[in-house]
Amino acid sequence: MITREPTYSDAAGNAWVGVWRAAVLELGSIGRAGSMTAQSLVMLPLLLATRRSRRELARQLYITGIKSLALITIVGMFTGMILGLQVGLELRRYNQELYIGSAVMVSLLREMGPFMTGIILAACVGSSMAAQIGTMTVNDEIAALEIMSISPVRFLMAPRMAAMVLMTPILSFYTCVLGVIGGGIVGLTQLNVPWAQYINMAMDVAHLRDLYVGLFKALVFGIVVTSVSCYEGFTTTQGAVGVGQATRRSVIVSILLILVLGYIITRLFYDL
């Protein structure tokens, strides 16, 4: 059962009580969001059981992947071009601009590729999830599903979770490829770095470990964005105003978690 009604309590006697109460409420929210995430992940194999589930999964894959492709293409290309330009200008001061390919490749594989993909999906797909589910919540459509003994988590959250789990690593890799191409264009046209030399330097530092860590980051970011967005949608109150607030919170919280988790994952996989 998904709780949608707000929790009312007496006013706090002092500031410390208010802080403690807010912390307890936040921990409760984290626990409920984690429980919903675990349920949706467990239900992923069930999406292939019926034709309706497969059709809904295909629709979510289209929304998450294909409809985001144009924006990710532009952002990925210009991210690589900006990295190539900034790093190349600095390397040229030391006559080492031939290493621009190495710098761009490492930056994109380890951090910028998954990071930019997660940010884009949080802003485009995550906000849409929160708004759609939030509208269904305030219109009592979620309650109607529960009355019919249909799990909202399985019916609404699981297909979106599956789509993000499948598409986020693919889109992250696509962003990295486009970023490397963009950096190569800048190196060739503005820094006089031959294309073959740029690619050779980039491939020399492209280790499988960096690729795996980047794809794992993208996978975690996809799960986080879906969990936060769906939870905010399911707990929406106060009508249209609440839908707007839930959409805003989903984007803010998703981006903050992407930043924090990105650092933690890098720290765990790379020794200082």
Span 135-150, mean pLDDT?
Answer: 87
Span 160-176, mean pLDDT?
Answer: 93
Q: Which pLDDT score is estimated for 3?
A: 47
Q: List CB contacts of 142: < 8 A, sequence separation 6 or more.
A: 2, 4, 133, 136, 152, 156, 234
Phi, psi (rounded to 5 degrees) for 192: 60, 35
Task: Quote the pTM value.
Answer: 0.87
> Alpha-carbon distance 217 to 262, whole Å?
7
Q: Which pLDDT score is estimated for 2?
A: 54
Q: Which pLDDT score is estimated for 193?
A: 86
Tell how far CA 208 is from the center of its chain: 22
Q: Which pLDDT score is estimated for 13?
A: 59
In contact, 168 and 117? CB cutoff 8 Å: yes
In contact, 244 and 145? CB cutoff 8 Å: no
Q: Which pLDDT score is estimated for 74?
A: 93
Name the nearest CA neighbour of 163 among 70, 40, 268.
Answer: 40
pLDDT tens sequence across 224-257: 999 999 999 988 888 888 888 989 999 999 999 9
The average confidence (pLDDT) of the chain is 86
Q: What percentage of the chain has pLDDT greater than the value 70?
A: 92
* Helices and strands (H, E) in the chain, number of each type: 12, 0
> Alpha-carbon distance 55 to 63, whole Å?
13
pLDDT confidence of 175, banded at 50, 70, 90? very high
- Using only C-alpha atoms, the chain has a radius of gyration, in whole angstroms, of 22
Better-scored residue on pLDDT, 143 or 15: 143
Q: Which pLDDT score is estimated for 202?
A: 87
Domain limits, the chain: 15-269
In contact, 39 and 142? CB cutoff 8 Å: no
Report angle CA 30, 228, 256 to the nearest 5 degrees. Answer: 90
In contact, 61 and 161? CB cutoff 8 Å: no
How many residues comprise the chain?
272
pLDDT tens sequence across 57-88: 899 999 998 999 999 999 999 999 999 888 88
DSSP letter for each residue of 127-165: HHHHHHHHHHHHTTHHHHHHHTT--HIIIIIHHHHHHHH
> Alpha-carbon distance 158 to 115, whole Å?
23
